[in-house]
Amino acid sequence: MTELHDRILDRVSHAGKPVALRELAHGLDLRGAALKELKASLRDLLTAGAVIRVRGGRIGLPLRMNLVVGELRCSPSGFGFVVPEAREPDDARATKRRRDVYVSAVNMKEALHGDRVIARIERTTDRGPEGRIIRVLERRLSRLVGRYEEDERHGGHVVPFDRRVLHELIVPPGESGTALTGEMVVAEVTRPPTATRNPFGRVIQVLGRIDEPGVDVKVILAKHGWPETLPEEVETEAARGAREPSPEEIAERTDFRDWTTVTIDPEDARDHDDAVAISRVGSGYRLAVHIADVAHYVPEGGVVDAEAYRRGISVYFPDRVVPMLPHSLSSDVCSLREGRDRLTQSVILEVDETGRVTSAEFHDGVVRSAARLNYEEAQRILDGDTESRARRERLVPMLETMSGLAQRMRARRHERGALDLDLPEPKLLLDQSGEMVGIKGAERLTSMRIVEEFMLAANEAVARHLVESGTPAVFRIHEAPDPEKVEEFCDLVASLGYRLPRREGGATPLDFQAILRRIEHRPEEKLVSYLLLRTMKLARYNEENLGHFGLATERYLHFTSPIRRYPDLIVHRVLRALRRNRSARIDMDRGERLSEMSRHLSERERAASEAERELIEWKKVRFMAGKIGETFSGYVTNVQAFGLFVELEEIYVQGLVHVSSMSDDYYVFQEKNRALRGENTRRVYRLGDRAEVQVARVDLDRRQVDFVLVDVAARAQAGARPGRPPKARRSGPPRRRAR
C-alpha cells in the first residue's frame, strides 16, 4: 500500500461514519491534480475490499457496517463460509481474526468456491455469524477440472471434480473439442454463473479417462493450477547458468572442504540441499549446517526466479516430484553431491554440552560432501550393525557424536514446550502403473531426528540474526490456537481421561506437551496427537516475526530448503545482502513487497499440501474399491450426528459408518461427550473406541469409503432384543478424572 492508501484508510476509520468523496478530499487537504490520485487510490481500495461504496456514493469500512470481505469456501453439501481477510486499519498487526461467516445455499448468490466476496452479517448465533453474499469482488475460478458428459437432455457439461464447486459447467455445441463422454477435462469458464444460470465454458484440455494410469496426477495438478512441466525458456535459462563452481568463485568463499561433511536424506532423494558436519571443541561442539546456495544460481528477476516464485514450492507425490526449479539446478549444481565442490550458505553454530546454541556465524561457503547417507543406512550404523559400521568406519564416531548432541538439543526444545507430534506418515506402495497395492507406516528414525534438530537450530539462528539486526524477511509463524478450538480439545481429551489446564491467557505449549507426555506409548497416543494437530492453526509465512507456538520459540523462519521452497530463497538473499552491508537497500527494495509475497507463498504451500493429500486419499479410495466385503480393525477418530468416522489400523484409510447403517437401535448424538448412544440398548460409541468394520461401499466419484460396524450388523441380523450389553471396547484408559 502507498502512503495515500494508508491516509485514506486512517481518515475513513476516524470519521465515525461513511464519508463522501468531497469530505474525504477536504479532510486530506487534496485539490486539483491530487484528486485524480485520490480517485485512483480509492479504486484500488475498493477492488481490494478494504473499503466499500454504500448508498449515496459514500465510502465506509466493511467491518463497521457488518460486512465481511473474504474468501468463500464451500461445502459439498451446498453451504459455505466466508473466511475474513480484512482488519481495521488501526488493528493491522492484530493476530486475532474475525470468525468465519456461515452462508446457506440460498444466500450464496452467484458466488463460486474460492471467490473473493463481500458478505453481510444478518444474525449471530451460538455457532457464530450467519449472512448472505452481496457482491463478488474477484473471480478466482477461471478454469474447472471435471468429467465431461454429453446427453440429449442436458447437452455437453462438465461435472466438477472438486465437489466444493456446486455448479456444473455448461459446454455449448462446438466448444467441447475432442472430449468424449466420461473423460476428464480442463474447461475455461467463459461466462460466470448468475443466481439463475450455471456457468458456461469451453474444453481446453483433455486429460484422459479416470481409470487410465497417471490421469489421477494430471487431474490433481490441473485442479490446483500446477503445470507438470516447466516452460522451455525456464529450462533454457537454468541450463545456461548450471555450471560447476569456478576457482574464482571458490576463492571468494570460506573453504569448508577439509571438514568431514555428509548428507543424510531419504533413500529415494533426488536432490540434496543440506549437509552437516560436527567436531568437539573443548566441552562443547562446533556444528556446521551447509545449505545449497541456490541464490547464487537463480538471479532475482530472471525467468527461473519468476517461475519459482509463481510455484512457490515443490509438490511431492508418492511416485514423483513436481519441482519448483529445473533439474539442471536442483539435481545437479545446487545439489550437494558426494565428492563434488558445491557452493553453500553455511551456518556455524557453537553448542555447549547441554545442547544450547551459544553463538552463530554465517558464511558464503564451499563444501565437498564426503558421503551420501540415507536414513536407513545411518540408522543401521547407530544401531550397531557390524557390516554398515565397517563400510563407513570413518564416519561412525561423527554419527554417534551427532546423535548425542541431537538428543540434548531435542531435550532443550521440550523443556521450553516445543510440541513433537509423532504421527506416523503412511507410505503408499505403488505398482508400475502408479496404482496403490499396499501401504505401510513410515517409522521415525533417530537418524531423521538428527537432521531435523540441526535444521531447526539453523533456522532459529538465522531468524534470531535477522530480527536482532532489524532486517526485513519472510518469517515462519505459528499463532496460538483459537480459544474455541482449545475448549473443544479440552472436552475431547477429558472424555479420554485427560485434563488440560484452563488458563485465563490461553493454553501454553507446555500445557499441550504435558498431555503428549502422558499419552506416550499408550494406545490412544495416535488419536490424541491427531486431535491436537486439528486444534492447532496452520503455520504460515508473514512479513512480521510473530513467533512459532508449536516450536515454542519467539523467532523462526525457513532457511534450509531453498531447492524446494521459495521463502528459503528469499531468506538466503536477505542474509547475503546483510553480510554485505546492504540492509538499507533491502528495506527499500523488498520490505514493502514482503506482505504480498508472504500471502502468495502461504497460499501456494496450502495448495501443494492439498494436492499431495488429495492424491493420496484418492489412491486410498481406489485401493479400497477392491476390498468390499472385507473386515478390518480400526478406531473412532470423529463422532458426528450423522455417524462415526473410523480409521483402519495399519493401512491408514478412513471411512464413514453412517448412522443409518446402525440398524440395531436409534442412536442419539451427545455433542458434549462426542458420542452416539443407543436409545434402547444404551450402547455407546465414543471417540477412541476400537471398532471392527466391514467395507460396505466405495464411491469413486465422491471419493468416499463407507463402513458398517460388524457387531451392529450381527445384532441387527440376529434381531437382538434391547438389553444392557457391555459398552463398546475402548483403546484408551478407564474414564476417570485425571490427577
Cα 363 to Cα 341, 456, 580: the distances in Å are: 16, 18, 11
Cell of 147: 468429467
Q: Which DSSP state fits 348?
A: E
| Res 704 pLDDT > 80 | yes
| Res 736 pLDDT > 60 | no
**Cβ 143 vs Cβ 92: under 8 Å:** no
Cell of 213: 494410469
| Res 97 pLDDT > 50 | no
CATH number of 63-138: 2.40.50.140
Q: What's the pLDDT band for 413 if we cut at 50, 70, 90?
A: very high
Q: What's the pLDDT band for 582 if we cut at 50, 70, 90?
A: low
Q: Select the highest-mean-pLDDT range: 248-262, 423-437, 589-603.
A: 248-262
The sheet carrying 262-265 orders its strands as 254-255, 357-368, 341-351, 284-292, 274-281, 262-265, 371-374
Select from 385, 486, 424, 345 the least CA-distant residue to 650: 424
Beta bridge partners of 374: 265
Could you report the per-residue pLDDT of 312-340, keeping only the tens digit for each? 999 999 888 999 999 999 999 999 999 99
Cell of 143: 478454469
Could you report the per-residue pLDDT of 328-374, keeping only the tens digit for each? 999 999 999 999 999 999 999 999 999 999 999 999 999 999 999 99
What value does the mean pLDDT take over residues 690-716?
88
CATH topology of 63-138 equal to that of 143-209? yes
Residues in the chain: 739
Cα dihedral 314→320→325→327 (10° resolution): 160
Select from 400, 484, 409, 506 the least CA-distant residue to 452: 409
CATH number of 625-718: 2.40.50.140
Question: What pLDDT score was predicted for residue 734?
Answer: 35
- Report whether CATH 2.40.50.700 matches the domain 143-209: yes
Cα dihedral 23→29→35→41 (10° resolution): -80
**Cβ 330 vs Cβ 280: under 8 Å:** no
> Residue written as cell 452462508?
103
Element (H, E) at 22: helix 21-28
Element (H, E) at 696: strand 690-699
| Burial (Cβ within 10 Å: 0-12, 13-18, ≥19) of residue 492 | buried
3-state helix, strand, coil in the chain (%, to 5): 35, 30, 35
Could you report the per-residue pLDDT of 37-67, keeping only the tens digit for each? 888 888 878 777 778 777 777 887 877 777 8
Select from 8, 44, 3 the least CA-distant residue to 23: 8
Give the gyration radius of the chain's Cα atoms. 28
CATH of 3-60, one of 1.10.10.10, 1.10.1670.10, 3.30.390.10, 3.30.460.80: 1.10.10.10
What is the domain partition of the chain in residue ranges? Answer: 3-60, 63-138, 143-209, 232-477+549-615, 483-536, 625-718
Q: Which DSSP state fits 730?
A: B
The proportion of the chain whose per-residue pLDDT surpasses 70, expressed as a percent, equals: 93
| Res 226 pLDDT > 90 | no
Question: What pLDDT score was predicted for residue 591?
Answer: 56
| Res 722 pLDDT > 60 | no
Q: CA 567, CA 599: separation in Å to the nearest integer?
A: 11
> Residue written as cell 483433455?
206
**pTM listed for this prediction:** 0.85
Q: Provide φ and ψ at 703, rounded to 5°.
A: 55, 55
Q: What's the pLDDT band for 738 if we cut at 50, 70, 90?
A: very low
Q: Which DSSP state fits 329?
A: I
Cβ neighbour number for residue 297 with a 10 Å cutoff: 20
| Res 388 pLDDT > 70 | yes
Mean pLDDT of the chain: 88
Beta bridge partners of 103: 80, 131
